[in-house]
């Protein structure tokens, strides 16, 4: 899923769009990493000549160096540049890169960039869009290709996509911890609970709440490959309603709270509906990584850790019991 736009990247492009015609500004994109690197390829930083910044390419002194270059007029405004940090051990230490790490950036002047508004329109419409930059001419082409990030020294291709979403079924304590932590990880969190008593106690700011039935909430969300759906009510009538629709959707992750025994019974119930064996096998139940979690915040951590692993393509776990 490399290249998908998270809310940090959305902030970068939004800020750049706001800066148009203001003063010189640049978009820094990580195009190559060698050894350990604090940020993956495709990470972005918006930089304005007066020092205003958004996003991150290293989380360390690379940002400080770029800021100094901008203020001292050492960044090109008529062409894209390739900057490399951390070639030597001394540079790696100076720029706060991990030992042996090397970071290569494309610095792209973007004042009066007409492509930005079109990319933001596509992202807000939950459509993926590829941006191809020709470094020598600054020519930008937009297309519907979604093959991921590419860089050959002359041309850079970056796929921008919609922000991550999470639909949580159930407004209990575990859901509250999960919602707060998920927002830190750039998820737009939706919460569904038709029970009036639960709606009255929900107090997590920044979330979208609905009291409609769980199956209706799943269908209304139109879940795609950037959506996770987590059932947490412990009430089979509510959780199963959501899962029947979620497992048929395009969501990249569908999980349900409960013990191994409870989830085995849940799978038996789901088999009674119009779900295929493959669809039922998509269910992560018990939800989350098996890290011995028991308390609501621990369970939330295990769920988010599993989401990170699945999105990164490093999930090798057999999901075990997250709670009993």
Q: Are residues 169 and 111 in the same domain?
A: no
Q: What is the mean pLDDT of residues 62-76?
A: 90
- Characterize the bridge pairing of strands 155-160 and 150-151: antiparallel
State which residues form the domain around 211: 165-312
- Cβ pair 44, 28 in contact under 8 A: yes
Query: Both 169 and 294 in a single domain?
Result: yes
- The pLDDT value given to residue 133: 94
**CB neighbour list of residue 184: distance below 8 Å, 6 or more residues apart:** none
Co-location of 95 and 198 in the same domain = no
Of residues 127 and 2, more confidently modeled: 127
Q: Is the pLDDT of residue 235 over 80?
A: yes
Q: Are 109 and 116 in contact (CB under 8 A)?
A: no
Residue 247: predicted pLDDT: 97
Tokens standing for 263?
């989830």
Instruction: Determine the average pLDDT of the residues in 53-60.
Output: 80
Asked if 265 and 290 touch (Cβ cutoff 8 Å), the reply is no
Q: Are the beta carbons of 45 and 67 closer than 8 angstroms?
A: no
Does residue 280 belong to any structural domain of this protein? yes
**Mean pLDDT on 55-73:** 84
Verify that 304 and 188 share a domain, yes or no: yes
- With a cut of 70, say whether residue 244 has pLDDT above it: yes
Q: Among 44-53, 82-91, 227-236, 269-278, whose mean pLDDT is lowest?
A: 82-91
Q: Which residues contact 324 (CB under 8 A, 6 or more apart)?
A: 259
Same domain flag for 198 and 107: no
Whole-number average pLDDT of the chain: 86
Q: In the structure encoding, which two tokens stand for residue 28, read together? A: 């820094």
Rounded mean pLDDT, 146-160: 88
The answer to whether residue 186 sits within a structural domain is yes
Instruction: Match 């609970």 to its residue by tokens.
Output: 193
Q: Tell me which of 33-42, 114-123, 243-252 is least confident.
A: 33-42
Task: Using the 3D structure, point to which of 73, 91, 115 is the last residue of a domain.
Answer: 115
Q: How confident is the model at residue 268 (pLDDT cuts 50, 70, 90)?
A: very high
Q: Is residue 21 part of a domain?
A: yes
Q: State the total domains in the chain.
A: 2
How many beta carbons lie within 10 A of that of residue 197, not counting itself? 8
104 and 172 housed in the same domain: no
Mark whether 110 and 171 lie in a shared domain. Answer: no
CATH code: domain of residue 177: 3.40.50.720
Does the residue 217 lie in any domain? yes
β-strand partners of 256: 231
**Domain edge (last residue) among 74, 95, 115:** 115
Same domain, 62 and 175: no
Is 187 contained in some domain?
A: yes
- Which pLDDT value is given to residue 318? 46
Q: Are residues 296 and 176 in the same domain?
A: yes
For the cut 80, the answer to whether the pLDDT of residue 324 exceeds it is no
> pLDDT over 70 for what percent of the chain?
88
65 lies in the same domain as 186: no
126 pLDDT exceeds 50? yes
Residue 137 lies in a domain: no
Clarify whether residues 105 and 176 are in a common domain: no
Question: Residue 142 falls within a domain, yes or no?
Answer: no
Structural domain includes residue 139: no
**Domain match, 72 and 186 both:** no
With cut-offs at 50, 70 and 90, classify the pLDDT of residue 319: very low
């Amino acid at each position: 899923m490399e290249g998908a736009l998270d809310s940090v990247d959305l902030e970068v492009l939004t800020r750049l769009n706001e800066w148009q015609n203001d003063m010189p500004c640049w978009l820094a994109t990580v195009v190559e990493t060698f050894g350990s690197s604090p940020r993956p390829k495709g990470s972005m930083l918006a930089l304005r000549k007066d020092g205003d910044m958004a996003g991150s390419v290293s989380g360390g002194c690379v940002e400080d160096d770029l800021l100094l270059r901008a203020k001292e007029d050492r960044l090109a405004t008529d062409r894209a540049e390739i900057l490399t940090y951390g070639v030597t051990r001394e540079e790696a230490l100076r720029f706060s890169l991990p030992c042996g790490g090397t970071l290569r950036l494309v610095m792209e002047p973007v004042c009066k960039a007409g492509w930005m508004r079109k990319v933001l329109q596509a992202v807000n419409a939950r459509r993926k869009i590829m941006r191809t930059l020709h470094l020598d001419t600054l020519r930008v082409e937009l297309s519907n290709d979604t093959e991921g990030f590419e860089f050959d020294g002359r041309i850079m291709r970056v796929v921008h996509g919609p922000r991550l979403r999470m639909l949580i079924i159930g407004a209990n304590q575990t859901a509250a911890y999960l919602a707060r932590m998920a927002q830190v990880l750039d998820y737009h969190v939706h919460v569904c609970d038709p029970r009036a008593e639960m709606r009255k106690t929900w107090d997590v700011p920044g979330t979208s709440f609905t009291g409609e039935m769980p199956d209706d909430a799943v269908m209304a969300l139109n879940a795609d490959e950037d959506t996770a759906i987590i059932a947490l009510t412990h009430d089979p009538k509510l959780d199963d309603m959501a899962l029947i629709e979620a497992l048929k959707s395009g969501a990249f992750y569908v999980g349900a709270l409960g013990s191994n025994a409870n989830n085995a019974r849940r799978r038996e119930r789901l088999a009674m509906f119009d779900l295929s064996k493959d669809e039922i096998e998509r269910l992560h139940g018990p939800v989350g990584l098996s890290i011995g979690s028991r308390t609501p915040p621990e369970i939330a951590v295990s769920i988010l850790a599993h989401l990170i692993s699945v999105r990164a393509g490093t999930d090798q776990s057999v999901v075990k019991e997250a709670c009993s």
